[in-house]
Amino acid sequence: MRLRPDENGPVGNRLALRIAAFGGLALVLFAILFFRLWTLEVVNGEEYLAEADNNRTREYRVPAPRGEILDREGEVLVDNRTSLALQVNPRKLPADEVERRAELKRLGELAGMSLRRIRRTMREELAEAPATPVTLRSDVGRYLVYYLQENQDRFPGVEVRPVFVRDYPHGTLAAHLFGYVGEVSEDQLKEDRYRGLQPSDFVGQDGIEYQYDEVLRGRPGATVIQVDSLGRPTPGGQLKEVEPTPGENLRLTIDSSLQEAGDAALAGTGLRGAYVAMEVGDGSILAMGSSPTFDPDVLTEPTQREVDELFGDPVTAPLTNRAIAGAYPTGSTFKPITSVAALASGNVTTTEVINDDGAFTLGGITFENAGGVAHGSIAMQYALQVSSDVFYYTLGDRMYPGNALQKWAHRLGIGHETGVDLPGEQPGLLPDRARYEQLHREGLTAEDRPWSAGDNVNLAVGQGELQADPLQMAVAYATIANGGSVPTPHVGLQVEDAAGRVLREIGPKPARHVAIDPEWRETILAGLHDAAQAPGGTSYDVFGGFPVPVAGKTGTAERPPYGDQSWYVVLAPYPDPEIAVAVTFEEGGFGAETAAPAALEILSEHFDKAAKDVEGGATVIE
């Protein structure tokens, strides 16, 4: 007879253990599944819901139009026009790599872009904004648009969308003032001022467009649409639209008619040069130009040839604003500055007579007047009229070994930035003893000698290592003319909304005040007036018949290895000037031959316009 195993015996125990193990495992698996479902539904539910929504929606960035740039009377100088941008939506491109490459290559042949450039552009923009269509080119021709529309099946994912681009209705007028606009760079996106922008966004890259970019830029909008599983828009699928906020308008201190006259005066010589016309009282810049110039429109998306032309030649340097970044010796236009320094330091008086026999000898070296002319016994006013070098050599020698000449030149605005609201301003160079010692310590000069009296004599007539630009000279002359208030030059006047309401006024305070005795001012201005409009004056042949009384000074500076630098700085009307004009030309020869006639054209326009405004009963903007 066979015995049944006891249910409570060893066999039963093993069975119960297996059942318990399987039950425990099932419980653990169920717990894991439950926890995972709980995590998906509760913890990460919103995230996955958002991803699901993203798969059925597309958000398109809508660029904001930039604000307009106006002249002082409200005339539009820079605005916007609608352009067509060639864009690629990577999600709609063929999934097959061979087909995708073939499509991008065909597109590049049509758009004039290499496949490598297209891929690089896509890679850079998608790294910053993965869900945004990539802009390959702006301002594409309509022939390309028509072709793409007729061949949509060959170019899936390729779109042409309207965008705003800058329009410069006056061509190259004031190009260096306006600067230009271009796509924000990868490095710029790391800066705080460009926070929130994307690679395809456009920002100011130079000039006013850069300086006031945050005012002009505006805020982009967005359009959200619903798409099907293939990423195609569904009928009536627009879900949300946020209108872009246009940038604010910027009104400038610029007088556009004076700007046209100044630019024409520069272009008429065919020489490299620059000019500034500025109000003596508050530093408002009425006009500023540099030659050679450029077309700011082409820099929105330049070709390689245009890049080479604009950036490749350091001598012509068409993008350099020579009015604020030129580095030139000033020649005799520096003499009024030397006058102030000598008078303030007690090294001469307004009536002291110095003998000018045509030559000045120092340390065995003879410095002569131009042409060796002797002017006899003269005081400061006549010395300025005839531009006596010997008189100013003497003052330069008297101010050695002190630093009175450099101290006062610096106070008047030479050798440092003026603070103008434009990028790219250079400080220039005001040489002195400390500079020589530093250069020698750093091994940057082979000359083992200190600053000498000869160096001071050279500086007194605007020669040697001195480097200045037209804006610095305009500021220095304006300071003398207004009695000692050093103006902060500026081109911005006020920020306005689209309706013309003033949101913010731009009026920087004077940089500082310097003590200029009224007698010094009167003597210096009288000498400059005689130089321009009294017989025997250095620019009498140019300004002698000008109906408005002026005070002006020529300058002809040696600038090896180049030809002489031509200068003219003028204040008008005399004896209480309202406007200062500084003009200079590289290799322009004598100041009276090249720079002075250009200054005459600028002043003629200024006073002709003022006369017309008065005759017409209009308000003259002083």
Q: Which of 200, 219, 252 is the last residue of a domain?
A: 252
Do 100 and 214 lie in one domain? The reply is yes
Task: Tell whether 378 is covered by a domain.
Answer: yes
Is the distance from CB of 397 to CB of 367 less than 8 angstroms? no
Residue 170 lies in a domain: yes
- Please check whether residues 468 and 586 belong to one and the same domain: yes
Residue 422: predicted pLDDT: 98
Please state, as a whole number, how many other Cβ atoms lie within 10 Å of the Cβ of residue 611: 13
| 313 shares its domain with 248 | no
205, 235, 252 - which closes a domain: 252
For residue 5, pLDDT beyond 60: no
What is the tens place of the pLDDT at every residue in 84-120? 888 888 878 888 888 889 989 988 888 888 888 888 8
pLDDT over 70 at 320, yes or no: yes
- Is 593 part of a structural domain of the chain? yes
- Give the chain's domain count: 3
**Residue 1 within any structural domain of the chain:** no
Q: Is 393 found in the same domain as 313?
A: yes
Structure tokens at 23: 């039950």
The sheet that has 57-62: what strands, in order across it? 57-62, 221-227, 233-242
Per-residue pLDDT, 619: 42
Predicted confidence at residue 252, as pLDDT, reads: 98
Look up the domain containing 20 and give its range: 10-43
For residue 188 the two structure tokens come to 């710029």
Using one digit for the tens of pLDDT, what is the confidence trace for 121-149?
Answer: 888 777 766 656 788 887 788 778 888 87
Q: Are residues 461 and 609 in the same domain?
A: yes
Q: Note whether residue 19 is domain-resident.
A: yes
Asked if 310 and 350 sit in the same domain, the reply is: yes
Are 333 and 474 within one domain? yes
pLDDT digits (tens, 9 = 90+) for 522-556: 999 999 999 999 999 999 999 999 999 999 999 99
Report which of residues 460 and 18 the model is more confident about.
460
In a domain, 372, yes or no: yes
pLDDT of residue 620: 41
Question: Does pLDDT of 231 surpass 60?
Answer: no
The kind and range of the H/E element at 264 are helix 256-269
| Domain stop point among 220, 252, 284 | 252
Q: Are residues 238 and 380 located together in one domain of the fold?
A: no
CATH number at residue 202: 3.90.1310.10
Q: What is the per-residue pLDDT across 568-611, written as a single tens digit (0 to 9) for each? A: 999 999 999 999 999 999 999 999 999 999 999 999 999 998 77
SS3 state at 61: strand
- List the one residue out of 212, 245, 264 whose CA is nearest residue 78: 212
Same-domain status, 409 and 521: yes
The reply to whether 602 falls in a domain is yes
Q: For residue 325, is it within any domain?
A: yes
Residue type, 414: I
Residues whose CB falls within 8 Å of the CB of residue 586, separated by 6 or more in sequence, listed in order: 271, 272, 273, 328, 559, 562, 563, 565
Distance from the Cα of residue 460 to its chain's centroid: 32
Whole-model pTM above 0.85? no
Closest by CA to 272, choosing from 290, 287, 294, is 290
User: Is there a single domain that holds both residue 33 and residue 68?
Assistant: no
Give yes or no: residues 61 and 37 share one domain.
no
C-alpha distances in Å from residue 611, one per residue of 111, 422, 546:
53, 31, 14
- Together in a domain, 266 and 243: no
Query: Can you tell me which residue has the tokens 């310590």?
Result: 441
How high is the pLDDT of residue 42? 64
Q: Measured at the alpha carbon of residue 369, what is the angle toward residues 365 and 373, in degrees to the nearest 5?
A: 125
- Of the candidates 352, 359, 345, 417, the one whose C-alpha atom is nearest the C-alpha of residue 378 is 352
For 153-185, the pLDDT digits (tens) are 889 888 887 778 899 999 999 999 999 998 888
